[in-house]
Amino acid sequence: MRILVRPARSEDAEAISALAAATFRDAFGSQNTEADMSKYIADAFQPEKQKAEILDTQSVVLVAQGGDGDQLVGYAHLVAGGASSGITGEPPIELKRLYVDRAWHGRGVAQSLMDSTIEAARLRGAQTIWLGVWEHNPRAVAFYAKYGFQRVGEHTFLLGSDQQTDWLLARPV
């Protein structure tokens, strides 16, 4: 099956918002309270916020299309600039999000997005790509390890009112 990865456009904001909320809930809903999930989703994934991220010159938002070609089945968000402690290699770029619709797991969407994300980081001149991944997300940790990401530290991630530990992973671009 063909997967098309392309830069997001401002008119994708509504679809990205819906996909982001659904994939985040699928990934973490069973391990967190409904109140914390709802607060985070309401704060992070509003269409206006997605549009602002798409238009931000420090960001790269990529979408994966599958099926009939119009359906968004995954997305990734890179942000250039500052890094958490333990991140080396100037300039760094953060992989803030990479999510795939659960129905599309195992079809190469995540790999296509990751390959495109690494290429986008390279084209922006980044030397290091880094991310935070929840310590209780072994599937994601294993996926990133396949791409050469190594643990370099940790930081606190606030999900609603719950302080969680994210592992910081990094690799050279």
CA distance 61 to 45: 13
Domain membership of residue 51 (yes or no) is yes
Domain membership of residue 167 (yes or no) is no
- Counting the structural domains of the chain, the total is 1
Our measurement of the distance from residue 23's CA atom to the centroid of its chain's CA atoms, rounded to an integer in Å, reads 11
User: pTM for the whole thing?
Assistant: 0.91
Domain membership of residue 156 (yes or no) is no
- Residue-wise pLDDT for 31-61, tens only, equals 878 998 899 899 999 999 999 999 999 999 9
CA distance 118 to 115: 5
Confidence (pLDDT) at 101: 96
Domain membership of residue 161 (yes or no) is no
Confidence (pLDDT) at 36: 87
Domain membership of residue 142 (yes or no) is no
DSSP state of 149: -
Confidence (pLDDT) at 85: 67
CA distance 117 to 75: 10
- Residue-wise pLDDT for 118-155, tens only, equals 999 999 999 999 999 999 999 999 999 999 999 999 98
CATH number at residue 45: 3.40.630.30
pLDDT above 70 (res 1): no
Domain that holds residue 30: 4-129
Domain membership of residue 52 (yes or no) is yes
